[in-house]
Amino acid sequence: MATVSATARRPGPGGPGRYAVLLAYLVLAAVMLLPFLIVLGNAVKTPAEYSQNGPLALPEGIYLDGLRDFWERVDYGDKLLNSLLISGSVAVLAVVLSVLNAYALGIGRVKGRLWVLVLFLMANTLPQEALVYPLYFLAKQTGLYDTRISVIIVFTVVQTAFGTYLLSSVLSGFPREILEAARIDGANRWQVLWRVVVPVSRPTLSVLLVFFFIWTWNEFLIPLVFLVSNDNQTVSVALGVLQGQRLMDATMTSASAVLGVLPTVAFFLIFQRTLTRGVTVGAIK
């Protein structure tokens, strides 16, 4: 078995076979990226160039007026701050709530956990359009209407549904010996949660953080209804409203799409390193 163990780190088809697999992945990646490139291409065309050559031709030059017009028309800077504030707060708060819920359900295995989980999942199973009228009424009653905090609260609860489910599924397979060892070392449940469970679950928590941020960023319906004043609006709402008014030509639509997507892409690229920098159970510190 000497030869096998010598190549144990690189098994399976070697040589040209492995490049075939890589090539397949690269083709797939190109298919996934193509629509983005089309949008980017159109965002830097002049309207005249667009109507002459169509949406799929390569841009002849870099024309940034579409981007600038959109930026000024919607006060993009302010909208960006609102979106960052709302999505960032929701992402962090929803991760914390998910951890607390999942600790009770997945590790504590509280009585009737299946039904508790079903209740938490209702935040997602209920169609959002069904929530809009009642939430509007409640927000008016509590004086939270047209505040960013109202949207933060609503989406924290909505996003927690997924976090609670994913984390409690993952944690119900958590190695009992580790919990036992920590308990014998004198840690109480609160300490076990933050010093043992959370560090081990870090890759999954990063995934949740990224998902929550991006999902909240792209939410449209509830922010549209709740954030009526211009000062509180988010990027997605500004984008959707302008599109709905049909005041934009195709190049400006593309420009708005680029500005709408750029922050989430940047966020994903920054945070995607944390997705793999995992702590495996065998290497807890």
Closer to other proteins at the Cβ: 85 or 100?
Answer: 100
Query: Does 159 contact other proteins by CB under 8 A?
Result: no
Query: Does 271 contact other proteins by CB under 8 A?
Result: no
> Segment near other proteins (CB under 8 A), from 66-74, 82-90, 174-182, 226-234?
174-182
Query: Does 114 contact other proteins by CB under 8 A?
Result: yes
Closer to other proteins at the Cβ: 232 or 252?
Answer: 252
Q: Cα torsion for 78, 83, 89, 90, to the nearest 10°?
A: 160
Query: Does 129 contact other proteins by CB under 8 A?
Result: yes
Gap between the Cα atoms of 169 and 163, Å rounded: 10
Residues 217, 221, 225, 228, CA torsion sign: positive
> Segment near other proteins (CB under 8 A), from 59-67, 68-76, 78-86, 275-283?
275-283
Query: Does 2 contact other proteins by CB under 8 A?
Result: no
Could you tell me which residues come within 8 angstroms of residue 56 by beta carbon, excluding any fewer than 6 positions away? 38
Q: In angstroms, what is the minimal distance from the CB of 109 to other proteins?
A: 8
Closer to other proteins at the Cβ: 62 or 283?
Answer: 283
Gap between the Cα atoms of 76 and 239, Å rounded: 10
Residue 66 CA: distances (Å) to CA of 72, 189, 241, 259, 284: 10, 55, 17, 11, 51
Alpha helices in 126-201 (DSSP H): 128-142, 148-171, 176-184, 189-192, 198-200
Number of residues that bind other proteins (CB under 8 A): 121
Query: Does 172 contact other proteins by CB under 8 A?
Result: yes
